[in-house]
Chain A
Amino acid sequence: TQLLEQSPQFLSIQEGENLTVYCNSSSVFSSLQWYRQEPGEGPVLLVTVVTGGEVKKLKRLTFQFGDARKDSSLHITAAQPGDTGLYLCAGGTYKYIFGTGTRLKVLA
């Protein structure tokens, strides 16, 4: 059974700080997606990583897929209050599952 564990579960930081969110599994994934969810809304896709070792950048967000395709990370540089939200990794070969989620709060 494929499972995705995220850490940390909660993160509260000051504006301007950097942070990293991790998504780990014991299973290999053909790809992983990262989503961001705001209150009252469904998750919205940020990025898809496909190749082991791949690094993708989206403005201040940097996503990395582990070499073995079992883990991924999301790094935010100089966090802003607008980055506040629930960050989710997701993937699956047979069924599409989500990680446990990381709730980020960026204080002004």
Chain B
Amino acid sequence: EAGVAQSPRYKIIEKRQSVAFWCNPISGHATLYWYQQILGQGPKLLIQFQNNGVVDDSQLPKDRFSAERLKGVDSTLKIQPAKLEDSAVYLCASSLAGPMNTEAFFGQGTRLTVV
């Protein structure tokens, strides 16, 4: 079974530029999550999709971040314009159903450096 695929693995951009990350979840997984992880800290939930609907995006900085999940499968996360404090690893995860009693499967993440 193929795992969660993310690209790119690494990205370096200048502040005020834009960037996009792509995620392909495990086939058949209804729930998709995007997390931001600062080095050494726990992942912070940015947005959670159930199929192609948004379950929670309360911690997504909507003035600069956007995310979509087309046809309930792949997802993209965009930052425009980027700030220095956006430097982090962006993790995508998917699970078969919702959060209760679930196991989330993670991609390897995209390490973003904003200079």
A positions within 8 Å CB-CB of B = 4, 6, 30-31, 33, 40-45, 48, 50, 86, 88, 90-101, 103
A103 to chain B, nearest CB (A): 6
Q: Which of the residues A6, A48, A99 comes within 8 Å of B103, measured between beta carbons? A: A48
A30 and B101 within 8 A (CB): yes
Q: Which residues of B contact A86 (CB under 8 A)?
A: 40
B108 interfacial contact with A, CB 8 Å = yes
Of all A-B residue pairs in the complex, the 5 with the closest CB atoms, nearest first, are: A42-B106, A96-B99, A92-B99, A101-B42, A98-B42
Q: Which residues of B contact A31 (CB under 8 A)?
A: 100-101
Q: Can you add 14 more A-B contacts, CB < 8 Å, to A31-B100, A93-B99? A: A33-B103, A33-B104, A41-B106, A41-B109, A42-B108, A43-B104, A43-B106, A94-B99, A95-B48, A95-B99, A96-B102, A100-B41, A100-B42, A101-B42
- Nearest residue (CB) in A for B9 is A40
Given contacts A96-B48, A98-B43, contact A91 B108 (CB under 8 A): no
Q: Which residues of B contact A90 (CB under 8 A)?
A: 104
Q: Which of the residues A6, A44, A48, A93 comes within 8 Å of B42, measured between beta carbons? A: A6
A76 to chain B, nearest CB (A): 19
**In the bound complex, how far is the Cα of B104 from the Cα of A94, in angstroms?**
14
B75 to chain A, nearest CB (A): 15
Q: Which residues of A contact B102 (CB under 8 A)?
A: 33, 96
Complex A-B: 19 CB contacts under 8 Å: A33-B103, A41-B106, A42-B93, A42-B109, A43-B43, A43-B106, A45-B103, A48-B101, A90-B104, A92-B99, A93-B99, A95-B45, A96-B31, A96-B99, A98-B35, A98-B42, A98-B43, A101-B42, A103-B40
Given contacts A30-B101, A48-B101, A91-B99, contact A101 B107 (CB under 8 A): no
